[in-house]
Amino acid sequence: MSPEFVYVALLLGVLLVLAVPTGRYIAKVFSGERTPLTPLLRPIEKRFYSLLGIDENKEMSWKTYASALIAFNILSVIAVFLLQEAQGWLPLNPQGFGPVRWDTAVNTAISFVTNTNWQAYSGEQTMSYLTQMLGLTVQNFLSGAVGIAAAIAVIRGFIRKNTATIGNFWVDLTRSVLYLLLPLAIIWALVFASQGVVQTLGPYVAAQTPDSGEQLIAVGPTASQDAIKFLGTNGGGFFNVNSAHPFENPTPLTDSLQVLGMLLIAASLPFALGAMLKNRGQGRAIFASMMVLYLAGLGVALWSETNGNPLLDHLGVAGGINLEGKETRFGIVPTVLFAESTTVTSDGGVDGMHDSFLPLTGLVLLFNMAIGEVIFGGVGVGLIGMIFYAIMTMFIAGLMIGRTPELFGKKLEPSEMIMAVIGLLAPSVTLLLLATLAVVLPAGLFSLNNAGPHGLSEIIYAFASACGNNGSAFAGLNANTIFYNMTTALGMLVGRFATILPALAIAGSLAQKKIVPFSAATLPVAHPLFVVMLVGTVIIVGALTFFPVFVLGPILEHMLLGAGRTF
């Protein structure tokens, strides 16, 4: 077996070994149980609450929880917007960048607050160090923490009975940052820095190169932003090309830690679910469903990309190897692994240019995002999305056997079904409507970088990324126009809040119900049959919704590539 495949297997093995204990740790943190970090962090946490006047034992109804979450996000959007407009007058701006254009600033504020981190701007040409640190890095922590808090609230809906409350948003938010994101981010950032990820507040440096005159080299506080960009599945890079940039991802080791970082918390949450349900098998079943979908996508993408491009082969490129948009230090297999991981997790960081992938590789990435980022998914919201699919699965199964559907010991009734369908369909419908708008309006087509079916893929990718809160791009599309800044911002808002709000509503409704004891008529979750049905539901819903547009984009391009057509 080639070392590249040993590498993939090793990385996923390490993920599994870390995800199980991390999941149990998360369950303990949010249940208020003692963890190894408690002696160190508990005093800080208590101090925090007393300073802010938070009563940590005061629980919230789902509506209060949701209101707090929304208020916090509105405040965040305003703060990040104002910071970008004021950066010219503020310190830590060695390159003297002026205010960010209003539409870009609105888009960026919404993008970072919704955990999308779609970047219409070029980092090293637009944002001051203060904006990167106080606006973007802070939101990388907070948006991740909001997602984790929401997922924990949903889990509480399943484990509680006959109560109107689902937890305290402020407490969940604080614990996510303090116990989970911050300790991991410090470790990740320092390892990154040791490998060469730049971390300085000094100005850009000018080098006298041996053969090509002066080169101005952008630097900045990158390692700190880089670490949380993966752990919080944000993906917002410091530099324009994100983790393809050698300062943001200098070695194969940092590359693998970035893949591990984005998968870690998202893959731990199913185990946290199992631990909190006191039924680890159910958590394992959700994890297994995600892993099956992940490996299937990875397999297709690797097969597609390692086959190479026949057009390049004809031109005399050895093996037709498609290294366009990829870095020498990574090569094909690690870049595909990164791309698969970043699109399933809604991270959106990239270590190569997705626009230049072969058509079927691009198809896999589109599918991962369009189904709603549920294969591991964004921290918290990925689990939520998968629970929507699980509700749908149980509903379909319930119809087939003529029983009231149940999930994790709770009866599912019309109100839960409605909310799950809203959560699944609102982002998809928004995606297709906005993409249609872009295809029929000159303002949409004007931004294209590629012609033919690949152009359609560029547009679909942009809105799949926005509505899935992913943030990666077929970056040839010039998205920094008023049209794309406004439409993708709308997509990001729908993608985020049409997931979280229905989920909290479900949590509120389930928490009030009693727990149904497991009986002979219960369809067991901790069973391979459930995994098969859940995976099937995800694929069928994805295929039914997006098959036509996928045929016109990547699949058509694949066929025309085989016929030697260029555009």
Nearest Cα residue to 546 out of 442, 483, 451, 468 = 468
Nearer to other proteins among residue 162 and residue 212 (C-beta): 212
**Which positions from 154 through 213 interact with other proteins, judged by CB under 8 A?**
170, 173-174, 177, 182, 185-186, 189-190, 193-202, 204-212
Q: Among 86, 312, 486, 539, which residue interacts with other proteins (rule: CB under 8 A)?
A: 312
Quick one: which of 473, 484, 502, 417 has its CA closest to 447? 484
Pick from 325, 439, 483, 515: which binds other proteins (CB under 8 A)? 325
Residue 565 binds other proteins (CB under 8 A): yes
217 forms part of the interface with other proteins (CB under 8 A): yes
Which residues does 335 contact at the CB level (< 8 Å), separation at least 6?
305, 326, 327, 351, 352
The nearer residue to other proteins, 449 or 522, going by C-beta atoms, is: 449
Both tokens of residue 130?
């203060």
Q: Does 57 bind other proteins (CB under 8 A)?
A: no
Beta pairing class for 213-217 and 410-411:
unpaired
- Is 27 near other proteins (CB under 8 A)? no
Length of the chain: 567
Q: For residue 40, what are the CA distances in angstroms to 48, 172, 210, 279? A: 14, 18, 52, 30
* Residue 51 touching other proteins (CB under 8 A): yes
Nearer to other proteins, 283 or 444 (CB): 444
List the interface residues with other proteins, window 120-149 (CB under 8 A).
122, 124-125, 133-134, 137-138, 141-142
Give how many residues touch other proteins by CB under 8 A: 124
CA–CA separation, 204 vs 207, rounded Å? 10
Site membership for other proteins, residue 246 (CB under 8 A): yes
Q: Is 215 in the site for other proteins (CB under 8 A)?
A: yes
Residue 315 DSSP one-character state: T
Considering the complex, what minimum distance in angstroms separates the CB of residue 54 from other proteins? 6
Q: Which is nearer to other proteins, 280 or 329 (CB)?
A: 329
Beta bridge partners of 216: 206
- C-alpha to C-alpha distances, 86 to 207, 222, 227, 492, nearest whole angstrom: 31, 21, 26, 24
Nearer to other proteins, 6 or 532 (CB): 6
Binding mask 292-311 for other proteins (x = CB under 8 A): -----------------x-x
53 burial type by CB count under 10 A (0-12 exposed, 13-18 middle, 19+ buried): exposed
Pick 161 or 246: Cβ nearer other proteins: 246
Instruction: Give the closest residue to 484 by CA, choosing from 511, 508, 466.
Output: 466
- The reply to whether 5 sits near other proteins by the rule CB under 8 A is no
| Residue 276 binds other proteins (CB under 8 A) | no
> At residue 215, what are phi and psi to the nearest 5 degrees?
-125, 120
Where does this chain touch other proteins (CB under 8 A) — which range of 21-29, 326-334, 390-398, 531-539? 326-334
Instruction: Give the nearer residue to other proteins in terms of CB position, either 68 or 425.
Output: 68
* Residue 39 interacting with other proteins (CB under 8 A): no
Residues 333-392 contacting other proteins, CB under 8 A = 334, 350-353, 355-359
Q: In this chain, which of 31, 35, 450, 480 binds other proteins, going by CB under 8 A?
A: 450
319 part of the interface to other proteins, by CB under 8 A? yes
Q: Is 109 in the site for other proteins (CB under 8 A)?
A: no
Q: Is 404 in the site for other proteins (CB under 8 A)?
A: no
Interaction between residue 75 and other proteins (CB under 8 A):
yes
Told to check if 561 binds other proteins by CB under 8 A, we report yes
Among the residue ranges 278-286, 313-321, 516-524, 532-540, the one whose residues contact other proteins (CB under 8 A): 313-321
Residues 528-547 that bind other proteins (CB under 8 A): none
Residues 145, 494 contacting (CB under 8 angstroms) = no
Closest CA relative to residue 115, chosen from 466, 505, 473? 466
Residues 335, 327 contacting (CB under 8 angstroms): yes
The yes or no reply on residue 446 touching other proteins (CB under 8 A) is no
Considering the rule CB under 8 A, would residue 449 count as an interface residue with other proteins? Answer: yes
Instruction: Determine if 461 is a binding residue for other proteins (CB under 8 A).
Output: no
Site for other proteins in 76-95 (CB under 8 A): 76, 79
Q: Tokens standing for 12?
A: 């996923």
CB atoms closer than 10 angstroms to residue 284:
19
Binding of other proteins at residue 247 (CB under 8 A)? yes
CA distance 104 to 100: 7
- Are 115 and 378 a contacting pair, CB within 8 Å? yes
**d(Cα 262, Cα 345) in Å, to the nearest integer?**
7
User: Per CB under 8 A, does 1 bind other proteins?
Assistant: no
First-last CA distance in the chain: 38
